[in-house]
Amino acid sequence: MNTAQPAKRIHSFHPPQRTLLGPGPSDIHPRTIAAMGQPVVGYLDPIFVEMMDELKTLLRYAYRTENALTFPGSGPGSVGMETCFVNLVEPGDKVIVCRNGVFGGRMIENVERCGGTPVVVEDAWGEPVDPQKVEDAFKAHPDARILAFIQAETSTGCASDARTLAALAHRFGALSIVDAVTSLGGSELRVDEWGLDAVYSGSQKCLSCTPGLTPLTFSEAALARIKARRHKVQSWFMDLNLVLEYWGNTKRTYHHTAPINGLYALHEALLLLREEGIDNAWTRHQRHHAALKAGLEAIGLRFVVREASRLPQMNAVYIPEGINDLDVRRRLLADFNLEIGAGLGPLAGKVWRFGLMGYSCRAENVMLCLSALGSVLADMGYPVEVGHAEAAAHAVYAAQHAEAARNKHK
Tell me the per-residue pLDDT of 328-383, one tens digit each, with 9 for 90 and over. 999 999 999 999 999 999 999 999 999 999 999 999 999 999 999 999 999 999 99
Topology of domain 30-275, CATH:
Aspartate Aminotransferase; domain 2 (3.40.640)
- For the chain, residues classed under CATH 3.90.1150.10 are 278-408
Q: What is the pLDDT of residue 403?
A: 92
On the 0-12 / 13-18 / 19+ scale of CB atoms within 10 A, 355 is: buried
Per the model's pLDDT, the better-predicted residue between 386 and 283 turns out to be 283
User: Residue 258 is which amino acid?
Assistant: A
Q: How confident is the model at residue 4 (pLDDT cuts 50, 70, 90)?
A: low
Residue 373: name the closest of 322, 338, 324, 321 by CA.
Answer: 338
Report the C-alpha gap between 407 and 404 in whole angstroms. Answer: 5
| HSE-up of residue 294 (Cα within 13 Å, Cβ side) | 21
Residue 307 has pLDDT above 60, yes or no: yes
Q: What is the pLDDT of residue 249?
A: 63
Report the C-alpha gap between 339 and 186 in whole angstroms. Answer: 19
Q: How confident is the model at residue 43 (pLDDT cuts 50, 70, 90)?
A: confident
Report the C-alpha gap between 244 and 391 in whole angstroms. Answer: 53
Ramachandran category for residue 195: left, alpha or beta (phi over 0 → left; psi -120 to 50 → alpha) = left
Q: How confident is the model at residue 251 (pLDDT cuts 50, 70, 90)?
A: low
State the average pLDDT over residues 113-120.
98
Residue 1 has pLDDT above 60, yes or no: no
| pLDDT tens-digit series, residues 83-92 | 999 999 999 9
* Secondary structure letter of residue 383 according to DSSP: -
Q: Estimate to the nearest angstrom the gap between the alpha carbon of 297 and the chain centroid.
A: 25
Report the C-alpha gap between 155 and 126 in whole angstroms. Answer: 9
* Secondary structure letter of residue 303 according to DSSP: B
Residues 6+ apart with CB under 8 A from 31: 268, 272
Q: Estimate to the nearest angstrom the gap between the alpha carbon of 202 and the chain centroid.
A: 5
Report the C-alpha gap between 390 and 210 in whole angstroms. Answer: 31
For residues 342-354, b (16+ Cβ closer than 10 Å) or e, as one string? bbbeebeeebbbb
- Long-range contacts of range 165-173, CB-CB < 8 Å, 24 or more positions apart? 165/98, 165/129, 165/131, 165/134, 166/194, 166/195, 166/196, 166/197, 167/194, 167/195, 168/131, 168/134, 168/135, 168/138, 169/138, 169/197, 170/195, 171/138, 172/138, 172/142, 172/144
DSSP labels, 208-265? ---SSEEEEEE-HHHHHHHHT-SS--S-STT-HHHHHHHHSSS-----S---HHHHHH
Confidence (pTM): 0.95
Q: How confident is the model at residue 6 (pLDDT cuts 50, 70, 90)?
A: low
Residue 203: name the closest of 80, 19, 87 by CA.
Answer: 80
- For the chain, residues classed under CATH 3.40.640.10 are 30-275
State the average pLDDT over residues 40-55.
92
Q: What is the pLDDT of residue 257?
A: 84
CATH class of 278-408: alpha beta
Mean pLDDT score of the chain, rounded to an integer?
A: 95
Q: What is the pLDDT of residue 123?
A: 98
Q: What is the pLDDT of residue 247?
A: 78
Report the C-alpha gap between 292 and 288 in whole angstroms. Answer: 6
